[in-house]
Each structure stands twice: as C-alpha cells, then as structure tokens.
Amino acid sequence: MKRLLLTFSFMFSMIACLASCDKDNLPPNNTEEMTTDNAVKSNKVRIKIGASTFTATLLDNPTAKAFKALLPLTISMKELNNNEKFFDLPKSLPTNSSVPASIQSGDLMLYGSNTLVLFYKSFSTSYSYSKLGKIEDVNGLVAALGTGNVTVTFEMEE
C-alpha cells in the first residue's frame, strides 16, 4: 500500500510539473517546425523593377500561399490598358475571386486562375480577381513600370 501511494504521489508530481511547463519557450524539436514557423511569419515580398525596389504585403489566403511557393520569380510582364502589367503563370493557383469596388495602384491580384496582375493606376472595374496583396508604398511605381513590357522580379524578404 505504501509503495502504491508513493508511486501515485510520484506520478501526480510529474504530471503537475509537465502541465506547468510553457511549451512556447521550448526550442522546436525538428527543422520542419522551424521552417514552417518562419514561412508563416513572412508575408513580405520584394518587387524589383529595374533599379527600383518595392515591398508588398501578401494576404493570408490560399492564392497568396500558392504564389509564395513559386518565388523567387523573374518574369516579363506585358502592358495592358495603360493601368496594369500582367503575366500568365505556368500553372493555375487556387482562386477566391470577387469583383472589387475599385482597383488601387499597387494591387497585386490574380485574374482567372493563372494571370498575375500588378496594377499601377487606380480605376473602377467590373472584372473579378483573387486578391494576392498590395505594394506598401507606390511612390515611383508608375515611372518604374514605364509604358511597355517590363522585367519584374518577385522574391520573399528575409
């Protein structure tokens, strides 16, 4: 009986000790957890256009996550309508399209399931897009993109 009481007391103490530990202060037990945590926290994308660099913040949605998986990406974006540049991605991304009330300069969106669109002028639209993110500071964006096709690099910020 004494041994059973001692064993029970020891088990109770161990359970209480383990329950009071803060697992958030423990180091991750494998590399995969560290990589996943870092990937989740990084939603900043560096956009290089010639000598200019812009920072965009991606949304937390399946479309933006699939786009992040394609990065880094250097593409030749085509001019359209004097307000946007576009590029047809080699594969489809998940979509959640809606018709925005208006497009804002710096919006990064997906048209259909594979057309990446970077808007550099604000306007009203009746088209449907899946939102990816937005450039934080659009000063100099119009000048950097110019009037024709342009090479653009998208990469995650570290």
Task: Dump pLDDT digits (tens) for 9-33.
Answer: 444 444 444 344 444 443 343 333 3
Evaluate whether residue 29 is within a structural domain: no
Task: Dump pLDDT digits (tens) for 94-114.
Answer: 999 999 989 999 999 999 999
Let me know: does 102 contact 124? Beta carbons within 8 Å.
yes
Task: Dump pLDDT digits (tens) for 55-97.
Answer: 999 999 999 999 999 999 999 999 999 999 999 999 999 999 9
pTM: 0.74
- Enclosing domain of residue 69: 41-156
Residue with tokens 């000048």: 143
Evaluate whether residue 23 is within a structural domain: no
DSSP label of 120: -
Evaluate whether residue 5 is within a structural domain: no
- Which pLDDT does position 61 carry in this prediction? 97
